[in-house]
Homo-oligomer: A and B are copies of this chain.
Amino acid sequence: MKEIDKVFKALADPSRRALIDRLHAKNGQTLSELCTGLDMARQSVTQHLDLLEAANLISVEWRGREKLHYFNPVPIHKIYARWIRKFEQDRLDALLDLKNELENERNDDE
């Protein structure tokens, strides 16, 4: 499976996006810490975290018996760079076209 596909798939689930949000709010949380308040078995959370890790959206670090989780924004930046920016560019292009159109109209009047 392509890298970018893993990222999109990982982001497609609201539970996983929530986990990223939690890590974004407080980085370096343990598994049990991430589980608190969630209506889901620890093992299910692990599965989600594994997917996020496979997509390189989080990285883990062991400290004794605890597993610390860190958010990594790079894949999201790549999605933006390779897949969203070009559509954003269309919006700018459309504005430029409109601007040129208006200016040409003005020139036609002269």
A-side residues, CB < 8 A to B, are 2, 5, 8-9, 11-12, 14, 17, 24, 73, 76-77, 79-80, 83-84, 86-88, 90-91
Contact = CB atoms under 8 A, between A and B. Distances in A.
A5 B11 contact: no
Contact of A5 (B9, B14, B24, B76): B14
A5 B12 CA distance: 7
- Chain multiplicity (copies): 2
Q: Is the interface of A mostly helix, strand, loop or mixed?
A: helix
A92 B86 CA distance: 21
A2 B5 CA distance: 22
11 contacts: A8-B12, A8-B17, A24-B86, A73-B87, A73-B88, A73-B90, A73-B91, A76-B87, A77-B87, A80-B80, A80-B88
Nearest to A84: B80
